[in-house]
């Protein structure tokens, strides 16, 4: 949420100013009585008195929004302009930082403003483009990105790592992880730097229901019943078991977070470079030919998103944050997050592929020692088989859409740390961020909320 207060002041002399107009977000706040009196009764103020009133207003607004609990990601910005009779201007800007901003600075990180990510191609400058029409390969491809960038998620502004970055290592639970992004509420999303083994996503695959991290009733003709969060998937059970054995003792450092299993339906027709015309018109039930939104975002539109559309698909421990059905706050990366991290890309219309040839130039989640990593993103149900998106890691590290649920692929756990958990280190592989600090409250106080 961004709330701006813009104030313009006209300077009558070097030491006297006139308050000319003040714009306030009327719908969200009540103007305090003392400030109303200032506007109506006091016309000329000394420079020091004016600054005092401005600062007092700022502190009052900050106190109001914080005490009212309008948003954990509230950003309050106030722009003040002083204009002299000669036309000279003095401008000031006051900003309350969001939790994500505070975490970003506490880690010593800054946003790259010089490069713009192009999600239709690869990060960096050393990728390879395979032309789907000619079969030719072009070297030294990429959008030049390598750093921290910002994007909107469900909780505000998220800061994500992209490219062959070397300053996002975290030592946690005796193993190395990589920071994927700072969530909009300031918590820190990390992915294990390696696989914990292989698992099927679901043992069954012949129904739309099985694309769920949790799923409902196979064979149902109703979307809500098909995708209700009733049964654990094979991979959720696998991750929960690993969490209990490896992270349960560190749970006071782990924050609840949204893990998106986006089952939003996407109905469309396109001309596939390999298979010709393909139409997806199903409603996500039974064996209907159905595409999910992540399929179109990743392989056709190249417009990743960190916003999880449906509440039912926001997997969380606490119901105040999402669906509240998880027993442990652990999940997988989405295809969107892999794409934003700088993975190669596959375009299903042109057949063009951007990929890496070595782990030196590759984005930071590239793993030459593993073959194919599961994501949490449903792709489609096609010819009576359901598919989840995966990342072909050792084969160039680009998203692949055609992975059956029963395949035994690599699993990379993802958790989120509390913003106060990191107490040292500089994020390099030789001096990774260290998780420490005192114990905080439990993740969830009860089964219905936090």
Query: Which residues contact residue 67 at a Cβ distance below 8 angstroms, ignoring those fewer than 6 apart?
Result: none
| Distance between CA atoms of residues 187 and 154, nearest Å | 13
Instruction: Give the tens place of pLDDT for each residue, 303-344.
Output: 999 999 999 999 999 999 999 999 999 999 999 999 999 998
Q: 128 phi and psi, to 5 degrees?
A: -125, 135
Q: 213 near 201, Cβ under 8 Å?
A: no
Residue 183: HSE in the Cβ half-sphere, 13 Å Cα cutoff: 24
Per-residue confidence (pLDDT) for residue 361, from 0 to 100:
73
Q: Shortest CA distance to 318 belongs to which of 436, 104, 155?
A: 155
Lowest mean pLDDT among 70-74, 139-143, 226-230: 70-74
Distance, first Cα to last Cα, the chain:
22
Residue 346 in tokens: 């596959």
Whether the Cβ atoms of residue 418 and residue 189 lie closer than 8 Å to each other: no
Distances (CA, A) of 351 to 129, 136, 202, 278, 299: 11, 12, 29, 14, 10
pLDDT tens-digit map of 343-374: 989 999 999 999 888 776 788 998 878 889 99
CB 75 within 8 A of CB 3: yes
- At 423 the three-state DSSP class reads strand
What is the rounded average pLDDT of the residues 40-46? 37
Q: Band of the pLDDT at 396, cuts 50, 70, 90?
A: low
- Quickly tell me which residue has 């409250």 as its tokens: 441
**The pLDDT of residue 49:** 47
Question: What are residue 80's phi and psi, to 5 degrees?
Answer: -120, 130
Of the pLDDT bands very low, low, confident and very high (cuts 50, 70, 90), residue 102 is confident
Distance of alpha carbon 267 from alpha carbon 260, whole angstroms: 20
Q: Which two tokens stand for residue 195?
A: 């696989």
- Distance, CA of 50 to CA of 42 (rounded, Å): 11
pLDDT tens sequence across 271-289 = 999 889 999 999 999 999 9
DSSP string, 71-113: -TT-EEEEEEEEE-TTS-EEEEEEEEPPHHHHHHHHTT-----
Q: What pLDDT, on the 0 to 100 scale, is given for residue 368?
A: 79
Residue 318: the pLDDT is: 94
pLDDT of residue 275: 87
Mean pLDDT of 392-402: 71
> Do residues 33 and 41 make contact, with C-beta atoms less than 8 angstroms apart?
no
| pLDDT value for 64 | 52
Q: What is the pLDDT of residue 437?
A: 62
The answer to whether residue 247 scores a pLDDT higher than 90 is yes
Stated length of the chain? 450
Dihedral sign of CA atoms 351, 354, 358, 364 in order: negative
d(CA 389, CA 119): 16
Sheet with 345-346: strands ordered across: 137-141, 127-130, 353-355, 345-346
Q: Rounded to the nearest 10 degrees, what angle do helices 33-41 and 47-68 cross at?
A: 150
pLDDT in the model for residue 72: 44
Per-position DSSP letters for 200-224, written without gaps between them? -S-S--SSGGGGSSEE--TT-SSHH
- Both tokens of 230, joined, read 């009733």
The three-state secondary structure class of 378 is strand
- Per-residue confidence (pLDDT) for residue 356, from 0 to 100: 86
Position 7 pLDDT exceeds 90:
no
Examine the pLDDT at 29 and tell me if it is beyond 90: no
Q: How far are the Cα atoms of 235, 370, 402, 450 from residue 406, in angstroms, in the given order?
A: 10, 18, 12, 35
- Distance (Å, rounded) from C-alpha 413 to C-alpha 191? 6
Tokens of 176: 């190395």
Q: What are phi and psi of 362, to 5 degrees?
A: -75, 165
CA dist 376 and 261 (Å) reads: 5
Q: Which of 156-165, 248-257, 282-291, 403-412 has the lowest mean pLDDT?
A: 403-412
Predicted pLDDT at 85: 46
Taking residues 412-435, report their average pLDDT.
95
């Amino acid at each position: 949420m961004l709330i701006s207060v813009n104030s313009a002041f006209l300077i009558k002399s070097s030491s006297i100013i006139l308050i000319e107009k003040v714009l306030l977000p009327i719908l969200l706040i009540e103007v305090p009585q003392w400030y109303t009196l200032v506007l109506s009764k006091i016309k000329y103020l000394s420079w020091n008195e004016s600054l005092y009133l401005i600062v007092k207003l700022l502190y009052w607004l900050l106190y109001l929004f914080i005490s009212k609990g309008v948003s954990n990601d509230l950003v309050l910005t106030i722009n003040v302009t002083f204009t002299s009779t000669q036309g000279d201007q003095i401008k000031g800007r006051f900003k309350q930082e969001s939790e994500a901003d505070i975490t970003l600075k506490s880690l010593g990180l800054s946003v790259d403003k010089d490069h713009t990510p192009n999600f239709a191609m690869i990060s960096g400058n050393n990728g390879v483009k395979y032309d789907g029409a000619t079969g030719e390969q072009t070297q030294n491809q990429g959008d030049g990105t390598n750093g921290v960038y910002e994007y909107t998620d469900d909780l505000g502004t998220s800061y994500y790592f992209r490219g062959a970055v070397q300053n996002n290592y975290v030592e946690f639970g005796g193993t190395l992880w990589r920071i994927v992004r700072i969530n909009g509420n300031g918590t820190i999303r990390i992915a294990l730097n390696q696989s914990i083994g292989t698992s099927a996503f679901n043992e069954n695959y012949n129904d739309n229901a099985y694309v769920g991290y949790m799923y409902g009733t196979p064979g149902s003709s109703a979307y809500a019943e098909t995708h209700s969060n009733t049964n654990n998937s094979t991979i959720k059970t696998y991750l929960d078991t690993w969490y209990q054995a490896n992270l349960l003792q560190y749970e006071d450092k782990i924050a609840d977070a949204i893990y998106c299993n986006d089952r939003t339906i996407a109905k469309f027709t396109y001309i596939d470079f390999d298979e010709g015309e393909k139409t997806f018109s199903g409603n996500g039930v039974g064996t209907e030919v159905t595409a999910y939104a992540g399929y179109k975002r990743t392989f056709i539109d190249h417009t990743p998103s960190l916003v999880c559309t449906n509440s039912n698909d926001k997997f969380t421990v606490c119901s105040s944050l999402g669906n509240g059905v998880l027993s442990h706050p652990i999940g997988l990366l989405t295809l969107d997050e892999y794409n934003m991290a700088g993975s190669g890309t596959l375009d299903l219309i042109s057949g063009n592929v951007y990929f890496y040839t070595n782990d030196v130039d590759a984005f930071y989640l590239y793993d030459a020692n593993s073959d194919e990593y599961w994501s949490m993103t449903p792709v489609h149900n096609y010819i009576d088989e359901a598919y989840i998106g995966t990342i072909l890691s050792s084969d160039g590290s680009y998203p692949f859409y055609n992975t059956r649920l029963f395949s035994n692929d690599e699993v990379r756990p993802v958790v989120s740390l509390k913003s106060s958990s990191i107490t040292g280190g500089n994020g390099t592989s030789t001096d990774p961020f260290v998780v420490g600090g005192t114990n905080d409250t439990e993740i969830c106080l009860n089964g219905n909320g936090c």
